[in-house]
Structure 1
Amino acid sequence: MARKAGALLAALAAMLFAAGAGGSAQRVDYAAVALDVLPPGQSGDLRFPPTASDQLPLYDGLTPQTSVTARDLSRYFKSERFGVTGKVVRVEHPRPGLRILRDRWDVPHVYGRTRVDVEFGAGYATAEDRYVFMEQLRGPGRIAAMDVPGIDPFALATSGRQFVPTEATEQRLQDQLALIRDAGAKGRQLLADTTSYVAGINAYYRSKGIGLRPWTVTDVIAVGSLLGANLGVGGGDETRRTMFLDALIQRLGSERGTAIWRDLAERLDPATPVSVDGTFQYDTVTAPGAKNVVVDDGSFEPWGTPHAVGFHFHNPVAASNALLVSARRSATHHPLFVAGPQVGYYFPQILLELDLHGGGIDARGASFPGLSMYVLLGRGKDFAWSATSANSDIVDQYAETLCGDDTHYLFKGECRAMTTFDAGVLKGNGTEPDRRLEFRETVHGPVIGYARVKGRRVAISSERSTGGRELLSAIAFQDLNTNRVHDVKSFYSAMNQLEFTFNWFYADDKDIAMFSSGRLPIRAPGVASGLPTDGTGQDEWRGFESLAGHVRGANPSGGVILNWNNKPGRGFSASDDNWSYGPVQRVKLLQLAVAKRRMHTLASLVGAMNTAATQDLRAISVLPALLKALGPARGGFELQLLDTLVKWQQRGGHRIDRNGDGKIDDPGAALMDAAWPRIADAVIRPVLGPLTDRLKKLLPVDDPANSRGSSYFSGWYSYVVSDLDRTIPEFCGGGDPRACQSSLWNAPVAAGNELVASQGRDPSQWRADATRERITFGFLPKTGRWTNRPTFQQAITFDSHRPR
């Protein structure tokens, strides 16, 4: 009987997929191979059913593999084809016209007779899999939408603390609805889709007797704000960076201090790797000028009182990679696509998978709970798409000239009163009482604090280009999910509607492409976006870049598009809060791995990704410059140290624990871990002196392998290599090559002596601890080996297409 029931369910799935939601035109899947993986698993059930962690063995199983075969793909990924592959395990009927089929991985395949049914089903399935996590997002999302100073909304979401919004906060969210309606037919459809989605969430709550406040469209807006605030933003750290500039000027003088500051910022370093051909001039003014201010060192006073969540300076999220191979470098003569976002590791996972069909929608992939009326990263009928965080500069800080007192400021010749906004109450916890979140605002945005400029007190305000417009970006996903996207040109047009800052990747059966999105401000001539702008009104934004101003490219001359959060295109300035776009970027690991073959298969491309995923960037991209600067070994112990590092590099520079003994297999990793902070300090400190420790707060010395997964995005890797590659170093040894060499040797020797004391005299027995960098999943009592790889990852290729 059970076998017959399973056969009937499988037949039902096939009929639904072939006939479509309304039994009309046949749906066609044009993929030759479609695979994905999302650890630990689809289920968010705190009772830990098998589907809460059944994708972790797939994900972790690939980690030690550097040579990947076609058979390995089906072993370490699951199907991403439209419809259920294999048996239908469960069928749900939340309402007439709607079926939700669950496969062995518990992925919901949603089939609706109408578009309303599909969106309702997306909401219902999302609530079923992630409602506990969704509830944690509603309050922090509102804090993100209001740009409340001093709070990291994503950290708040993971802390479990509650936020009670005011009517004023709710009204600001409601104001977005009019903006969406004004966006025309797509805007009205977005509201209709979101309304149906919310109805599905609430239907699930009612069906299970979950007595929580019903969801509304404004909750979806709030969640969109939270996602954008964490992954789709860049800039907004000008004050802190210019206090460091002021400190450098005081130490080194105006000319040299400014030159060193610009060198460290690396905003337009011509040696940094990029992803597409061409030059895209954006924000090319990097020198301080009359239209900017330099904040006096140490003068900034943040608004409000620091609390348990922590005072927040935005740090760019380093997440995600993409490997796209064009048709001419593919063994099948069709593009290859291996890509995904690195969003960290949690339980429940903050992404979930959906397969949506009906009413013109056909899409499968990953989405974000509370925003999953559309698939955000995945595939359509005959194309795939994914994203990496771009961190383009869409947030600026302004120095407001005060007039009279701290609550009045000068704008366009008029002394204006600041307004006060009451966002709501952040509920207390065991160590903190309730806190009312009130802050002042100017025409530019929230006042984040006060500071001094040449001794004069100013207010510092912050303006975000996407503020009050968060849900509008979902129109881009509407185009993707309804398959309006059908070629590179339509892909560019669709993603240009997305105002958050991401790099987007596309592949069909003929083409590969990339588009860097964002509502990019056009700044007044002479304004350097790396410093606070004079807020008196003469140098306001002049509009926003059109599609033509965005980094984009298709089918590049080299036959590949590779991105690992590196700069998307030449001439495009890094944001003020990102000082890591120098010559050493982890994307070079992908470049080296892909370059080993002229022609690729999907398996070899996955292998290239996975090779880079366990490599230590310092071993591959920093060690050559270091070895050259060190010169010959000075004695037997030094020779042993060099031999340990060189052999590690020759073996690939990997950080793998293949035998599960809790230790990294290669001794070179242990030596580099101990030596690296000393090496970086030896290079930078001779010039910066006590300011070296200040620089560490702006850009960490290292971005090591860790339990969160993503590693080696930021760090002093480029600083070290750039300086050591000079004929005469500028920083190391204070410009004296011999002093530089001597100080550099002290670093590995001190590290070696430390390891001798803790692990013995034989370097071949030294081991780094692999347990501290194992990937963890919150409450889930399972872990995985460290890998520098997307959390959700697709491996897909298409061999045909709809009529063009």
Structure 2
Amino acid sequence: MASLFRWLARIVTAVMVLFVLALGAVYYFAQRSIPDYDVTRPARGISAPLEIVRDHANVPHVFGGTDADVFFGLGYAHAQDRLWQMVMLRRTVQGRMSEMFGERTLPIDELMRRLDLYRLAQDAVAVQDAETMAALEAYARGVNAWLDRVNSEALGRGAPELFLFSNDLAPWVPADSLAVMKLMGVQLAGHLQEEVLRARVALALPEERLRDIMPDAPGSGLAALPDYASLFEGVAPTDFALNAPLPTPDPLSPVATFDMAGASNAWAAAPSRSAAGGTLLANDPHLGFSAPTIWYLARLELSSGGVIGATIPGMPVVLVGRSAEFGWGLTSSYLDDQDVFIEKLNPDNPAEVLTPDGYAPMRTSPTIIRVKDAQPVTINRQWTDNGPVLPGKHYGLAAITPPGHVTAIGWTLLTAEDTSMSAGMKLMRAKSVAEGVEAGRGFVAPSQNVTMADRDGIALKTFGAMPRRAADHMTLGRLPAPGWETQNRWLGFDAYAANPAFIDPSGGIVGNTNNKLLDRPFPLHVSFDWGDTQRIQRWQKLMQGRAVHTRESFIEAQLDTVSITARNLLPLVGADLWFTGDPAPDGTPERARQRALSLLADWNGEMNEHMPEPLIYMAWMRALQDRLIRDELGPLAGAFTHVEPVFIERVFRDIGGAGVWCDVVQSAPEETCTDIARAALDEALIWIGEKYGGEQEALRWGDAHQATHDHQVLGDLPFLKWFVNIRQSTSGGDNTLNRGRTSGIDPDPFLNVHGAGYRGVYDFSDPDSSLFVTSTGQSGHFLSRHYDDLGELWRRGEYIPMSLDPALARAAAVGVTRLVPME
């Protein structure tokens, strides 16, 4: 027995030693891809010595002899810190992820191939101006120089993830950068999803109820839309796949739901509204969170002057930031740049679709998708005059496509005549608001509102091509429309001058929270669907509450966590519940409800991570909306994952008869809105108790509202997820200026998944006092100390200096990379 025990001890010891050795080996090879920033190296592709100074936060400040050399340095730095991210972006837009991930990503690859974005990017290389082409080529040389260094010095394949996915890395080319910009257009687009959802609801509800659940932004109303099924001759509502499943989100997919398709805040103050006499600008673009964040801070010293701000790895342009004289910020414009066209197939030849001139053949092109551990898949792509044909499995199109028809997508992004990169380069080099506005003339997609400030003036201008629609369009672009009808087809694009512009307004302040910008009649309406009806109310109050503003007041507004929505909805929903009911013993639902109402009655709407009220409020409103719509919409109610405040208000004010939503159709009694509000609160409190337990007063919103900077590939793997995911308790919510969009998906519907991955505040009375920060860190390597070092600052609402002073960059620098021309 003693001998057996000794042998068991030896075996256990040996296994533990082998495990430690294996772990050590993994660490050794993984850490080899962490760059050494303090080196001097020869490099092929530069004309003069080049310096990449990494300041204390690992922000690269690139100094070179020529602009081309500076863009080379940016490509080199991007590849050093974010190679895996760049690989994923490129493979996604190429439709080649299945080569790495197998059949799981086949639907994503198929969609990207059918949209043909990468070919369009390749063709778009020819339309860029000479200055942009020089930057694209130099940037690609910089990326490839780092790839050469990785290969020649065995630097751990450049990223630890590449040990798990050993596919070959092709050299970077200029088309890759243009393709990444197009991919951002996919991530920011949402009108296609909105059209499909609106059509599905239109098939299930009468028009007046559709107006409730998918309301227009407050302002002038809209004439009633036609019944969707009536658009197609001989088609009845029952002919549609009414019970088709809702699209299932995949973390690797660039396609977002409409309410996750992009948001942001930006505002600027003229010298007359600035305490220090210089213009002010604040910007925080909102995108889905990931580890690392999509944003990468950088400073470029160009012949036109220094520029500093946020880039996206893969593109040689500062997308948001400032120079010494000029600053700019981006917000999603929600310009309606997509349409779904229903194409009628020729019953005698399904390769043809009906056009205004009769049946015509679709253009076809086969493409082969290689799939890891499976046979290659060949798909036959089809295009009509209106755009690429997409099968019903994409975007949930099956549910709104009548029999004998297919769907084609019209989208401004789907063009080879795309000079958006050149326009971005001009914006980055602009020295004034006038030059910035002019730069937008060549911008195509994705459409953005650009808020600008120079030393004397401010402006907001919508960039992006605006489709020209006929005034008699059958659905006004809000529903899928018959593609063979002439009045539904695009008539080209409106002139750039038609895009909204607000230049040096008399009030001295401009801003955008994705709200409705203006009220123009169709077809110059810009959009019927906007991204915000709530944050704009709080922003307006904060801006108008001061005669003059400072950098600090702009920061205060950027970090504001007061929900104007909670302040508006709670008195309305709880009107008959406050301080009512008989005394109830502890432990009963009545007592729990009274305690919750007491807490909410004293609450000011601040979505503070340390408070219980935000959690009670959010759970109540979520349960309330679900109870209001579940009986009418059935499974389709699952598409409404977030509370729509305007819908709740319409119901409880009984606007247009919307109070009918409170009555449960299937039940015999006639429920009132008070009944539903009370039952929803009880349901919310039961859910909270089961999930979080404890006393109501001890609840923390931040426990539910954790920012989920998760690794898109490794974030779900046991053990590894503790190293690669970054989770932080956060304040804010769906409708606060400090926006933390919740997931809306069980079992953790309040996780913070979409928000300000970048924040910047620029003060042109003292430009070098400007500040910025990102939500994770500069490095994409989870073993690097710069993987998450900015994240805690971001969570606390702190920033780092955004200075163009070379001496400040060199002070306490983490390293200086010197590249010299290879002889």
**Superposition pairs of residues 277-676 of structure 1, within 5 angstroms:** 287-288=225-226, 296=237, 299=240, 315=258, 316-360=260-304, 362-371=306-315, 373-403=316-346, 404-428=348-372, 434-449=376-391, 457-469=404-416, 471-483=418-430, 485-487=431-433, 489-499=434-444, 500-527=446-473, 528-536=476-484, 538-539=486-487, 540-571=489-520, 581=530, 584-612=533-561, 615-616=562-563, 618-628=565-575, 630=577, 633-636=580-583, 641=593, 644-645=596-597, 647-648=599-600, 650-657=602-609, 665-676=610-621
Report the residue type matching 2:438 in the other structure.
S
- Residue equivalent to 2:773: none
> Deviation at 1:476?
1.8
> C-alpha distance in 2, partners of 1:756/1:223?
45
Secondary structure, aligned partner of 1:530: coil
> C-alpha distance in 2, partners of 1:646/1:574?
49
> C-alpha distance in 2, partners of 1:755/1:422?
52
Asked if 2 retains the 8 angstrom alpha-carbon contact of 1:236 and 1:576, the reply is no
Q: 1:574 to 1:311 in 2, by over 3 A?
A: farther
Q: Which moved more, 1:563-572 or 1:196-205?
A: 563-572
> Deviation at 1:247?
2.1
- Residue equivalent to 1:773: 706
Q: 1:763 to 1:359 in 2, by over 3 A?
A: closer
Asked if 2 retains the 8 angstrom alpha-carbon contact of 1:319 and 1:389, the reply is yes
Asked if 1 retains the 8 angstrom alpha-carbon contact of 2:212 and 2:650, the reply is no
Q: Deviations over 1:497-526 (max 9, x none)?
A: 222211211122232221122211111221
1:135 pairs with 2:87: yes
Q: 1:502 to 1:382 in 2, by over 3 A?
A: same
- Residue equivalent to 1:743: 676
> Deviation at 1:342?
2.1
**For 2:219, which of 250, 255, 270 is the aligned residue?**
270
Q: 1:564 to 1:49 in 2, by over 3 A?
A: farther
> C-alpha distance in 1, partners of 2:35/2:576?
52
1:217 pairs with 2:174: yes
Q: Deviations over 1:432-483 (max 9, x none)?
A: 7643343322122221236699975212111112212475101222212222
**For 1:792, which of 752, 758, 761 is the aligned residue?**
758
> Deviation at 1:381?
2.3
Q: Deviations over 1:94-125 (max 9, x none)?
A: 44242222222222111222222222222222
User: Which structure 2 segments of 5+ residues have no match?
Assistant: 1-28, 152-156, 158-167, 393-397, 585-589, 712-722, 732-738, 740-754, 768-823
1:723 pairs with 2:651: yes
Asked if 2 retains the 8 angstrom alpha-carbon contact of 1:140 and 1:163, the reply is no
User: Which structure 1 segments of 5+ residues have no match?
Assistant: 1-44, 53-87, 181-186, 249-256, 273-283, 658-664, 703-714
Report the residue type matching 2:202 in the other structure.
L
> C-alpha distance in 2, partners of 1:204/1:364?
22
**Superposition pairs of residues 97-136 of structure 1, within 5 angstroms:** 97-136=49-88
- Residue equivalent to 2:717: none
Secondary structure, aligned partner of 2:455: coil
Q: TM-score, normalised by structure 1?
A: 0.71
> C-alpha distance in 1, partners of 2:77/2:515?
35
Asked if 1 retains the 8 angstrom alpha-carbon contact of 2:207 and 2:227, the reply is no
Report the residue type matching 1:377 in the other structure.
V
Q: 1:239 to 1:169 in 2, by over 3 A?
A: closer
Asked if 2 retains the 8 angstrom alpha-carbon contact of 1:724 and 1:732, the reply is no
Instruction: State the percentage of identical aligned residues.
Output: 22
Asked if 2 retains the 8 angstrom alpha-carbon contact of 1:89 and 1:103, the reply is no
> C-alpha distance in 2, partners of 1:761/1:105?
40
Q: 1:374 to 1:51 in 2, by over 3 A?
A: same
- Residue equivalent to 1:705: none
> C-alpha distance in 2, partners of 1:551/1:600?
25
- Residue equivalent to 1:189: 131
Asked if 2 retains the 8 angstrom alpha-carbon contact of 1:641 and 1:752, the reply is yes
Secondary structure, aligned partner of 1:341: strand
**Superposition pairs of residues 230-245 of structure 1, within 5 angstroms:** 230-231=187-188, 234-235=191-192, 237-245=194-202
Q: 1:129 to 1:765 in 2, by over 3 A?
A: closer
Q: 1:542 to 1:375 in 2, by over 3 A?
A: same
Q: 1:651 to 1:592 in 2, by over 3 A?
A: farther
Q: 1:666 to 1:729 in 2, by over 3 A?
A: same
Report the residue type matching 1:667 in the other structure.
P
> C-alpha distance in 1, partners of 2:497/2:670?
46
> C-alpha distance in 1, partners of 2:238/2:603?
46
> C-alpha distance in 2, partners of 1:591/1:649?
25
> Deviation at 1:624?
2.7
**For 1:207, which of 149, 155, 158 is the aligned residue?**
149
Q: Deviations over 1:646-669 (max 9, x none)?
A: 655755433444xxxxxxx32323
Pairwise CA RMSD: 4.4
> C-alpha distance in 1, partners of 2:419/2:673?
54
> C-alpha distance in 1, partners of 2:61/2:681?
55
Asked if 1 retains the 8 angstrom alpha-carbon contact of 2:515 and 2:536, the reply is yes
> C-alpha distance in 2, partners of 1:609/1:572?
32
Q: 1:259 to 1:112 in 2, by over 3 A?
A: same
- Residue equivalent to 1:36: none
Secondary structure, aligned partner of 2:675: helix
> C-alpha distance in 2, partners of 1:798/1:467?
38
Report the residue type matching 2:201 in the other structure.
F
- How many equivalent pairs are there? 657
Q: Deviations over 1:687-731 (max 9, x none)?
A: xx331541441x32x2xxxxxxxxxxxx32220012223477533
> C-alpha distance in 1, partners of 2:659/2:118?
54
Q: TM-score, normalised by structure 2?
A: 0.70
Report the residue type matching 2:332 in the other structure.
S
Q: 1:730 to 1:632 in 2, by over 3 A?
A: same
- Residue equivalent to 1:67: none
> C-alpha distance in 2, partners of 1:583/1:202?
42
Asked if 2 retains the 8 angstrom alpha-carbon contact of 1:285 and 1:529, the reply is no
Asked if 1 retains the 8 angstrom alpha-carbon contact of 2:626 and 2:637, the reply is no
> C-alpha distance in 2, partners of 1:690/1:549?
41
Secondary structure, aligned partner of 2:574: helix
- Residue equivalent to 2:809: none
Q: 1:548 to 1:447 in 2, by over 3 A?
A: same
Secondary structure, aligned partner of 1:356: strand
